[in-house]
With several copies, the nearest count.
Chain A
Amino acid sequence: KNAPKKLGIGQMATAEQIAGWDIDVRPDGQGAPPGKGSVKQGEEIYMTRCAACHGEFGESAGRWPQLAQGKGTLASNDPVRTVGSYWARLSSLFDYVRRAMPFGDAQALNNDELYAVVAYVLNLNDIVDDKFVLSKETWEQVKMPNANGFYDDDRETTEKAFWNKRPCMDNCRGPVTITGRARAVDVTPEDKGAAAQ
């Protein structure tokens, strides 16, 4: 390899330094920490640390995100994208809760608490039964309902028509009618700007 010369800038990262920040978990479970947690233990943590925002059943409280239900709605006019209805992998849930939740007190849960609360969220979505204990060992047993719900970006084929050598310039369409108006929807913040004066 004729890689460019190394410049020798930066310090070696120690194993201990890496361990302190290396919190990512990927689909095959690589990166998941030691530990385990049951649905039951998870319920307790969820009720005290999560339910206030996400709702006791993950149905969302107020305007905070919904974590459960929504199955079968993805092709509807009002799809509800939740862990159970939409997420394709357990690792996305574990990795996210580990780094971001509870909102405003990130990385406060220990490993066992993480396994437990994640197990509970899975249970809220009927992905695991009430007895389930989540750990690296039981990782593979978790089957996400929407596991096959995604496919790679295909715009270059399905939207090939947008690569149009000679876009129409004149008489491109019939009469144009207005079919919707933002003012009618009236959700724009009162514009303290120029136009509003």
Chain B
Amino acid sequence: DNPKNQPPNVPEWTRTLGDGVGVRAYGTPSKFEKQVIRRTVPWLTATPESSVSFTPLHELDGIITPNGLCFERHHSGIAEIDPADYRLMIHGMVDKPLIFTLDELKRFPRANRIYFLECAANSGMEWRGAQLNGCQYTHGMVHCVQYTGVPLKTLLNEAGLKSGAKWIMAEGGDAAAMNRSIPLAKALDDCLIAYRMNGEMLRPENGYPARLVVPGWQGNMWIKWLRRLKVGDQPWFTREETSKYTDLMENGKARQFTWVMDAKSIITSPSPQAPAKSKGLTVISGLAWSGRGKVVRVDVALDGGRNWRTARIDGPVYDKACVRFYYEFDWSGEALLLQSRAIDETGYVQPNKDDLRKIRGVNSIYHNNGIQTWHLKPDGEVENVEVG
């Protein structure tokens, strides 16, 4: 740091003019915040086009994820779609097959909803034990934004569903044309076709110009760059819901259609990438969410789960959206084992990893919502640890 810019001195920035208005037509973060970026784990996949980049949860607070930091999970890279050529096709068991332009989607009555999106593979690497030393990597495949779009049921009504229709296949315009089957009941419930996130048009890496929103369900179903909805009477069993996104149990059999995301939480600070900087009053800050509805409570433990205290949820609480929780305590510098557990409106309590392993084994890759333990050391460093 530079004492010349500290009291009693008049700092440089208080003496001379800064950039005028409009110099930054579309603003970017401060040059002092260069470290707040999405990061990848190169060894995780064969190629960046089919891979993941993680949201820096340890650098964020509140419940809204800035658009530029929403995690990426692509299968053939970003489809850079020209909105003038974008088309959405609805056909199959409908009275009248339709094609919509983006402008036509924007003519329908709109809805604004705040939802979390979590990839089912989030925390997948942690099944076998503490692997990655930072919540960006252990939990960074989750984000939460406000979507603006048209309810899927409105478009299905426009095409007219034939009796006997029971399933929808949604397909993306990327070079994997990624597709998933969605039960009609969910499609007619709260699914949206969103073209905005946090007010502006979707970002290319999040599905520009339109994506599916399937509140509370696996991120893989929220088809990006949505190009086609086919109505049918049986599931397609696409590669993404048979080879992938099926949960292999210890006995060699696999669960399929494990759509809903179980209640989950993570302490984002202190955490390995956000060490505790001083003793005394210390704020534990974290994020919680559930695919089954609202998070109603989050408990925090400082001793690896022997004793729990209820944390303070601060800010908005929405159905299938993230909530922010805090637990302030007076840290005297002793080593601690920090944990959080979310409880949702259905009464589901986030389990610890051993409870999950006893039922599912360690090969199911997906749906690891086990309690995360951070080992806070006297020097403030924090490490991802497994406890027994």
Contact = CB atoms under 8 A, between A and B. Distances in A.
Interface stretch (A37-45, A130-138, A172-180): A172-180
B217 to A, nearest CB: 11
Q: Which of B59, B177, B227 has the most CB of A within 10 A?
A: B177
B49 A104 contact: yes
B179 A188 contact: no
A193 interface: yes
Contact of B157 (A6, A62, A170): A6
B286 interface: no
A187 B132 contact: yes
B359 A12 contact: no
Interface in A52-80: 53, 62-65, 74-75, 77, 79
How many interface residues does chain A have, given as a range? 35 or more
Interface in A76-135: 77, 79, 81, 83, 86-89, 91-93, 95-96, 99-100, 103-108
**Ordered nearest first, which 3 A-B pairs have the shortest CB separation?**
A20-B8, A176-B304, A75-B252
Contacts of B255: 150-155
Interface string B7-51: 111100011110000000000000000010001111101110110
B157 A88 contact: no
A96 B239 contact: yes
A21 B227 contact: yes
A194 B359 contact: no
Contacts, number: 310
A34 interface: no
Contacts of A149: 252-254
Contacts of A167: 299, 308, 341, 343, 349
B228 interface: yes
B97 interface: yes
A140 interface: no
Most buried by B among A21, A107, A170: A21
Interface in B223-267: 227-228, 230, 232, 234-239, 242-243, 246, 248, 250-260, 262
Given A26-B234, A74-B252, 16 more contacts: A6-B158, A17-B7, A25-B236, A27-B237, A65-B46, A88-B237, A99-B177, A106-B14, A151-B254, A167-B299, A167-B308, A169-B299, A169-B309, A176-B388, A181-B386, A188-B133
A35 B39 CA distance: 45
A70 to B, nearest CB: 12
A13 B274 contact: no
Given A99-B177, A162-B355, A194-B274, A7 B281 contact: yes
B65 interface: no
Contacts of A108: 15
Contacts of A13: 7, 89-91, 97-99
Contacts of A81: 243, 248
A63 B7 CA distance: 35
Contact of A169 (B42, B257, B308, B347): B308
Given A24-B169, A154-B255, A19 B108 contact: no
Contacts of B46: 53, 62-65
A9 B158 contact: yes
Contact of B273 (A11, A88, A195): A195
Interface string A158-171: 11011111011111
Which of A62, A95, A158 has the most chain B CB atoms closer than 10 A to its own CB? A95
A100 B273 contact: no
B256 A153 contact: yes
A149 B363 CA distance: 14
A164 B107 CA distance: 34
B19 to A, nearest CB: 13
A164 B388 contact: no
Contacts of B2: none
B41 A189 contact: yes
Contact of A150 (B256, B349, B363, B384): B256
B349 A195 contact: no
A32 to B, nearest CB: 12
Nearest to B384: A182
B222 interface: no
Contacts of A161: 355
A75 B387 CA distance: 25
Interface in B138-186: 154-155, 157-158, 160, 169, 171, 175-179
B343 A92 contact: no
Nearest to B158: A6
14 contacts: A10-B98, A16-B8, A24-B169, A27-B234, A63-B45, A92-B242, A100-B75, A162-B349, A164-B349, A173-B305, A178-B385, A180-B386, A182-B384, A193-B134
